[in-house]
Amino acid sequence: MDIKVHPMGDYATNCYIVTIDEKDFIIDPGVGATSWIKQNSTNPVAILNTHGHFDHIWSNQELKEFFNIKLYTPKDDEFMLTLNPYNLGMPPSYADILVNPDEELDIFGVKIKFHHFPGHTPGCSMIEINGTLFSGDFIFKGTIGRFDFPMSNPKDMKNSLQKILTWKNNYHIYPGHGSKTTLNNEIDTLKLWERQIKA
């Protein structure tokens, strides 16, 4: 598995191209992602969203139409694809496949699971491919995603932290912002946040 990453837009949102068996999976194409993906992807087959915030989905529709590929989005965040928060002019996008919580899909022979960890958004998910996690805005190196936005939920975040703390595998984690990490490296931080959240 080959992983390319490039931070996009004012929020340096990580866009990933994950290549398996010469098939490219695009994860979270943010602001200005289209030109980078055109230059760095030879066989894009699908677009995957970890969640619905604008800085992760900005180029969804443009890429979907240019490459004629399908967009996979967590079902509980579908409503966010057509919102234009803060009047930023985000192009609306339209999912082809709405992914259920914790659903595993077979996309062109590759098993991909959307692990549901709501809190940052209702549908916030970590996408597992070949034992590697693309965590969106759930887990970052040294911290977690915010849960004070209008569509966030502290109680859901606390429950999600309790869920991830039961996991035993030391996954490699590629977050939506910042550098990569591992689950073992983040355990103490996750425990700290779980204790601090009053919900």
CATH classification of the domain holding 73: 3.60.15.10
Average pLDDT of the residues in 42-58: 98
Give counts: helices (H), strands (E), the chain. Answer: 5, 14
For residue 89, count other CB atoms closer than 10 A to its CB: 8
- Cα angle for residues 37, 38, 44 (degrees, 5° grid): 70
Q: Which two tokens stand for residue 4?
A: 């390319």
| Domain count along the chain | 1
Residue-number span of the structural domain to which 86 is assigned: 2-196
User: What distance in Å separates the CA atoms of residue 111 and residue 160, rounded to the nearest whole number?
Assistant: 23
Residue 86: pLDDT over 80: no
Exposed / middle / buried, residue 199 (Cβ in 10 Å: 0-12, 13-18, 19+): exposed
Q: Can you give the pTM of this predicted structure?
A: 0.97
Exposed / middle / buried, residue 11 (Cβ in 10 Å: 0-12, 13-18, 19+): middle
pLDDT of residue 34: 98
- The owner of tokens 């996309």 is 107
Average pLDDT of the residues in 46-60: 98
* Res. 74 pLDDT band, cuts 50 70 90: very high
